């Protein structure tokens, strides 16, 4: 019987079985690594994609048997470490991806190995710093600091320090940091575009740009060039927002599923403090800003009037959930968001509730959800919120959708209260 190749159309990606014990089991993991490495060794098609494959092939070629069985299992980690999960081998190269019976999903296997090691050993400070690309880029991108960091990274002394502190080889290329990042340079692409693209048979006529932390902070000129080419050709672009509330919801839920007692209480606490800010405090900012525009159209406003408006907005948003003597009249001065763009904060509330609403829908019917989620993501930034929801069977104009989102928060509050009483003896 002939076996049909995978990769003849968009590959079928199977979910990771990350909840099962076998997923983290050393023997099962290494057996699977050996099976896949052996197939890759016979194929070698991905030799030039990244450093994982050449590392594997060198290990095999330099072993005594010149087969995968000659490679010490501890050396498998070199292959795993060189994979940065770009997905290229899976998406574009491998003919043995599902539905092929060899069922090769190299990036997922690397992810599984990384997850198994993380569960056992946690992450070193070095790994945490190097993986926090956005936080590092944010700090290193502060004006003046950016120039100092870039100059240090170009000096021999600086590279020695970097090698000593974080293990970054002194000869490895290290990119520059920019204080004027791509998101700042391409600010005009945020928000709805007035230019309509012309859809063709298989396109929607519009392109969404994901800047990535690397493009955003290290090579903003690449993003700018890309936008210039698309705009020159009359294809409107939108800038994708980076925060994924839905992913955050999944991570929080996964954490809650594993945690108990004080740790669970701590996680709920962090989550609810953030949710409170996004839902309640941002509503106070929305009320304040609405009032500001209303009054400012009639004349200038003094600082005391702004303070009075701020406390009134907080009183309305928080109700009896806040001791009003702790309200902050100068929030309008502290929050830089007010000075960048109008109603800057509001999309966070919308995003959080939309993500939680999606999660509620996922819990109701996971199979249907999975079938539509990729499509929803591919349309984000191009369709209106109503269209996005409708394509997924959600009516964002119906209060019930938002109530379902708030129900997710409500159940976490109930959980928190019960746990606080049990663990902390709090009523
Ligand atoms: S997913 Fe990993 S192994 Fe595959 S091409 Fe990207 S970096 Fe290489
Ligand atoms: S991932 Fe697939 S295409 Fe790439 S080397 Fe392995 S078997 Fe070959």
- Nearest ligand, CA 55: 1
- Number of structural domains (the chain) is 4
- The chain-wide mean pLDDT, for the chain, equals 88
| 387 close to 379: Cβ distance less than 8 angstroms | yes
Instruction: Note whether residue 57 is domain-resident.
Output: yes
Instruction: Note whether residue 190 is domain-resident.
Output: yes
pLDDT of residue 146: 94
If phi > 0 it is left, if psi is from -120 to 50 it is alpha, else beta; for residue 384 that is: beta
210 plus 264 within the same structural domain: no
**2's tokens:** 């002939």
Answer yes or no: is the C-beta of 292 below 6 A from any ligand 2 atom: no
31-50: pLDDT as tens digits: 999 999 999 999 999 999 99
| Beta carbons within 10 angstroms of residue 178's beta carbon | 20
58 plus 156 within the same structural domain: no
259 plus 330 within the same structural domain: yes
Instruction: Note whether residue 75 is domain-resident.
Output: yes
Instruction: Note whether residue 418 is domain-resident.
Output: no
pLDDT of residue 404: 86
Answer yes or no: is the C-beta of 106 below 6 A from any ligand 1 atom: yes
pLDDT of residue 392: 72
pLDDT of residue 109: 98
The CA–CA distances, whole Å, from 170 to 70, 150, 266, 296 equal: 32, 14, 40, 56
Domain range spanning residue 343? 246-409
Let me know the angle formed at the C-alpha of 16 by 123 and 131, rounded to the nearest 5 degrees: 25
**pLDDT for residue 376 is more than 80:** no
Its pTM stands at 0.67
Atom of ligand 1 nearest to the CA of 86: 6
Residue listed under structure tokens 């001791």:
323
Instruction: Note whether residue 6 is domain-resident.
Output: no
| Beta carbons within 10 angstroms of residue 153's beta carbon | 18
**pLDDT for residue 98 is more than 70:** yes
Answer yes or no: is the C-beta of 107 below 6 A from any ligand 1 atom: yes
Atom of ligand 2 nearest to the CA of 94: 3
337 plus 267 within the same structural domain: yes
Q: Is residue 281 exposed (0-12), middle (13-18) or buried (19+ Cβ within 10 Å)?
A: buried
310 plus 394 within the same structural domain: yes
Instruction: Note whether residue 176 is domain-resident.
Output: no
Map residue 14 onto helix, strand or coil: coil
Atom of ligand 2 nearest to the CA of 47: 5
Residue listed under structure tokens 């692409």:
189
Q: Which of 85, 94, 96, 114 to mutate to test the pocket of ligand 1 (most atoms within 8 A of CB)?
A: 85
**pLDDT for residue 245 is more than 80:** no
**313's tokens:** 């907005």
86 plus 109 within the same structural domain: yes
pLDDT of residue 340: 72
87 plus 147 within the same structural domain: no
Let me know the angle formed at the C-alpha of 120 by 119 and 125, rounded to the nearest 5 degrees: 80
193 plus 333 within the same structural domain: no
pLDDT of residue 390: 82
68 plus 207 within the same structural domain: no
Q: Which of 43, 80, 110, 112 to mutate to test the pocket of ligand 1 (most atoms within 8 A of CB)?
A: 110
**pLDDT for residue 270 is more than 90:** yes
Q: Is residue 361 exposed (0-12), middle (13-18) or buried (19+ Cβ within 10 Å)?
A: buried
Cα gap 385→404, rounded to integer Å: 17
383-421: pLDDT as tens digits: 777 888 887 778 889 998 889 889 989 999 999 999 999
Confidence of residue 18 (pLDDT cuts 50, 70, 90): confident
Cα gap 253→301, rounded to integer Å: 45
Instruction: Note whether residue 173 is domain-resident.
Output: no
pLDDT of residue 8: 67
255 plus 404 within the same structural domain: yes
Instruction: Note whether residue 8 is domain-resident.
Output: no
pLDDT of residue 343: 81
The residue ranking higher by pLDDT, 374 or 173, is 173
338 plus 251 within the same structural domain: yes
Distance 105 CA to ligand 1 centre (A): 10
Answer yes or no: is the C-beta of 40 below 6 A from any ligand 2 atom: yes
71 plus 194 within the same structural domain: no
């Amino acid at each position: 019987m002939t076996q049909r190749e995978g990769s003849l159309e968009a590959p079928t990606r199977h979910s990771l079985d990350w909840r099962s014990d076998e997923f983290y089991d050393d023997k099962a993991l290494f057996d699977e690594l050996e099976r896949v490495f052996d197939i890759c060794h016979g194929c070698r098609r991905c030799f030039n994609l990244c450093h994982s494959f050449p590392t594997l092939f060198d290990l095999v070629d330099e072993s005594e048997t010149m087969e995968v069985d000659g490679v010490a299992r501890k050396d498998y980690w070199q292959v795993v470490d060189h994979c940065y999960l770009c997905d290229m081998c899976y998406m574009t190269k491998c003919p043995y991806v599902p539905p092929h019976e060899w069922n090769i999903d190299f990036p997922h296997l690397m992810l599984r190995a990384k997850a198994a090691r993380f569960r056992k050993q946690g992450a070193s400070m070095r790994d945490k710093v190097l993986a926090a690309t956005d936080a590092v880029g944010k700090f290193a991108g502060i004006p003046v600091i950016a120039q100092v960091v870039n100059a240090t990274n170009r000096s021999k002394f600086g590279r020695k320090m970097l090698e000593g502190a974080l293990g970054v080889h002194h000869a490895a290329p290290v990119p520059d940091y920019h204080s004027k990042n791509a998101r700042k340079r391409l600010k005009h692409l945020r928000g709805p575009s007035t230019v309509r693209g012309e859809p063709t048979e298989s396109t929607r006529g519009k392109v969404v740009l994901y800047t990535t932390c690397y493009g955003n902070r290290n090579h903003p000129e690449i993003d700018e060039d890309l936008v210039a080419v698309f705009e020159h050709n009359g294809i409107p672009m939108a800038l994708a927002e980076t925060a994924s509330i839905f992913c955050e919801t999944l991570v929080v839920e996964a954490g809650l599923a594993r945690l108990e007692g004080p740790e669970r209480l701590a996680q709920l606490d962090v989550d609810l403090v953030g949710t409170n800010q996004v839902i309640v405090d941002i509503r106070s900012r929305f009320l304040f800003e609405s009032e500001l525009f209303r009054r400012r159209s009639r004349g200038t406003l003094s600082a005391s009037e702004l303070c009075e408006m701020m406390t009134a907005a907080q009183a309305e948003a928080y109700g009896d959930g806040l001791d009003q003597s702790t309200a902050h009249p100068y929030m309008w001065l502290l929050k830089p968001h007010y000075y960048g763009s109008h109603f800057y904060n509001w999309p966070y509330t919308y995003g959080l509730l939309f993500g939680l609403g999606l999660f509620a829908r996922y819990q109701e019917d996971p199979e249907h959800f999975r079938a539509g989620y990729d499509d929803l993501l591919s349309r984000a930034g191009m369709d209106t919120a109503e269209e996005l929801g409708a394509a997924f069977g959600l009516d964002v104009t119906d209060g019930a959708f938002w109530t379902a989102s708030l129900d997710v928060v409500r159940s976490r509050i109930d959980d928190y209260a019960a746990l606080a009483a049990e663990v902390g003896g709090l009523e």
